[in-house]
Amino acid sequence: QSALTQPASVSGSPGQSITISCTGTTSDVGAYNYVSWYQQHPGKAPKLMIYDVTERPSGVSNRFSGSKSDNTAFLTISGLQAEDEADYYCSSFTTTTTWVFGGGTKLTVL
């Protein structure tokens, strides 16, 4: 199975909004609304930020939001803060009962 496609890096200034894309196929992202997003700071385990495309777990800031169009999912972070600087990974359930991750996107807060 191929990894989902994410941009290698994105950047934004404090207070701005950024969007990270995650492109898959009709066998994963496009098949179900089972896309999730994870935030990973250096040396730490990933943290779930978005599940089922648009849902936020308890305790996650409402500055984080998710959406999907066809085979591409999106993570938007509004009101960028310094603490948002991290790596972000998308993940999707697939039609072959497996899970696939994206290659990761490094977010830099300028």
Partner 1 sequence: QMQLQESGPGLAKPSETLSLTCTVSGGPISRSNYYWAWIRQPPGKGLEWIGSVFYKGSTYYNPSLKSRATLSVDTSKNQFSLKLTSVTAADTSIYFCARQSPILHSVDNWGQGTLVTVSS
SS3 assignment, position 23: strand
Q: Which residues does 61 contact at the CB level (< 8 Å), separation at least 6?
A: none
The binding track of 11-50 with respect to partner 1, each residue x by CB under 8 A or -, is ---------------------x-x-x-x------xxxx--
- Identify which of residues 47 and 63 has a Cβ nearer to partner 1 in the complex: 47
Out of 28, 73, 104, 109, the only residue in the binding site for partner 1 (CB under 8 A) is 104
Within a 10 A sphere around the Cβ of 38, how many other Cβ atoms?
21
What are the backbone angles phi and psi of residue 82, rounded to the nearest 5°?
Answer: -55, -35
- Which residues bind to partner 1, rule: CB under 8 A? 1, 3, 32, 34, 36, 38, 45-48, 51-52, 55, 57, 89, 91, 93, 96-104
